[in-house]
Amino acid sequence: MQFEISRETLIKPLQLVTGVVERRQTLPVLSNVLLVLEGSQLSMTGTDLEVELIGRVQIENGSQSGEVTVPARKLMDICKSLPDSASLKMELEDNKLVIRSGRSRFTLSTLPPSDFPSAEESSEALEFSISQERLKEMLDSTSFAMAQQDVRYYLNGLLFEVSPNFLRVVATDGHRLAMDTEDMSTTAEQTMQVIVPRKGILELARLLGEGEDDVDIVIGANHVRAKTANFTFTSKLVDGKFPDYDRVLPKGGDKKIVADRNELRQSLSRTAILSNEKFRGIRLTLLDDEIKILANNPEQEEAEEIVAVEYKGDSLEIGFNVSYLVDVLTVLDTDTVQIVVSDPNSSALIQGADGSSALYVVMPMRL
């Protein structure tokens, strides 16, 4: 194997691929990246057995096909530390990968490509396409609500629900829930649900570009695959059943507040400073056309903010974990938000006021 590639071309896909590779590996080959050169296409693969990422770039100069695995992080560090304009000549010599650039030379150890595990293709697959930008938006607006290392392992991921006429993603950690829906026609004959693990979601979100280009999603029995011109991403699915999210979507809350998103977010963030550091509880009091936000901590310090909102109705006092509210107000991008509550023990429904597709459910805190 022999080829030349500019640092600029190599670095971005290499960075993404290396991101999948875990630092600590029991199996040495898993800390390696698989390089495969076929004609003018170089593909790089990183895996942690749960998530696999293949990045592809085109090679211009004098190539000789072949394949090899080399330590991912070292290759990446070398690439990063070379000057921006550098060009790298790579050549396999006696089971070592020799990298030459200007007056630098690096010789990297290799492991046989046959040892490198690859995700199998799923049978019985369901396919659909969606713009990269929209999918990224859906992930960004919901993934923060995924659980982390919860024993309810099926919460440590994002639910993809594909029905004949929409794609929906849902995340919950048991205290709050985030959901986004895109109307589209799919080939699904009936609604199907899969859970993509947390790590897969975070990696996928990093990969997706800004453009209108589509990403093809293939959902198999055990894997989900996302494919664009430049990469193929595969993640195992979480084997479990996601809770019935529809059950917790509040229906019939009667107290509707419309607020300036940014103003409310900033007031909450300020009040949070003097909330109990551990529990993060704050007290909201709904009054005519204003909300009073009150926080205090064990040191008896207190913060109070009054925010003008649109609200007509009974006064109500309700507690929340302020971080949950701030998280939602941060991922929303509308100017105004709508919050619907009913009583101090029932969940709040938060949405962008101009009918944006994402919706959020936050359970109150008893204070």
Q: What residues contact residue 206 under an 8 Å CB cut-off, 6+ apart? A: 16, 19
Stretch that binds other proteins, among 78-86, 92-100, 167-175, 255-263 (CB under 8 A): 167-175
Which residues does 56 contact at the CB level (< 8 Å), separation at least 6? Answer: 13, 41, 42, 43, 44, 229, 230, 231, 232
Residue 129 vs 342, nearer CB to other proteins: 342
Question: Closer to other proteins at the Cβ: 38 or 277?
Answer: 277
Query: Tokens 């982390």, residue?
Result: 148
Nearer to other proteins, 56 or 280 (CB): 280
x/- map, 196-235, other proteins, by CB under 8 A: ----------------------------------------
Q: Judged by CB under 8 A, which of 157, 197, 200, 364 binds other proteins?
A: 364
Is residue 244 a contact point for other proteins (CB under 8 A)?
A: yes
CB of 15 to other proteins, least distance (A): 35
Alpha-carbon distance of 167 to 180, in angstroms, equals 8
Q: Convert residues 114-153 into a mask of x (bound to other proteins by CB under 8 A) and - (unbound).
A: -------------------------------------xx-
Left, alpha or beta for 114 (phi > 0: left; psi -120 to 50: alpha)? Answer: alpha
Nearer to other proteins, 232 or 321 (CB): 321
Measure the CA angle with vertex 346, ends 261 and 309; round to 5°. Answer: 25
Cα 96 from chain centre? 36
38 or 317, CB closer to other proteins? 317
H or E element in which residue 265 lies: helix 261-272
As measured in angstroms, the least distance from the Cβ of 237 to other proteins is: 18
> How far is the C-alpha of 241 from the C-alpha of 192, rounded, in Å?
11
Q: What is the spatial distance between Cα 226 and Cα 186, in angstroms, rounded to a whole number?
A: 15
3 state SS of 229? coil
> In this complex, which beta carbon is closest to other proteins, that of residue 47 or of residue 275?
275
Residue 281 interacting with other proteins (CB under 8 A): yes
Member of 127, 243, 304, 342 binding other proteins (CB under 8 A) = 243
Strands, sheet with 104-109, edge to edge from the N-terminal-most edge strand? 61-64, 2-6, 87-93, 96-101, 104-109
Nearer to other proteins, 23 or 278 (CB): 278
Nearer to other proteins, 14 or 349 (CB): 349
Give the span between the Cα atoms of 168 and 183, in whole angstroms. Answer: 8
Tell which positions 58-117 bind other proteins, by CB under 8 A.
none
Nearest to other proteins of 10, 177 (CB atom) = 177
The CB density around residue 229, as the number of other CB atoms within 10 Å, is 8
Please give the DSSP secondary-structure letter assigned to residue 357: S
293-312 binders of other proteins (CB under 8 A): 298
Residue 171 Cβ vs other proteins, minimum distance, rounded to whole Å: 12
> 182: which strand partners?
167
Question: Minimum distance from CB of 178 to other proteins (Å)?
Answer: 12
Phi and psi at residue 245, to the nearest 5°: -65, -30
Single residue of 279, 304, 342, 356 touching other proteins by CB under 8 A: 279
* Type of residue numbered 262: N
Positions 171 through 190 that interact with other proteins (CB under 8 A) = 172, 174-177
Residue 64 burial (C-beta neighbours within 10 Å; 0-12, 13-18, 19+): exposed
Separation between Cα atoms, residue 16 and residue 258, nearest integer Å: 40
Give the binding site for other proteins (CB under 8 A): 151-152, 172, 174-177, 241, 243-245, 247-248, 276, 278-279, 281, 298, 321, 345, 347, 361, 363-367
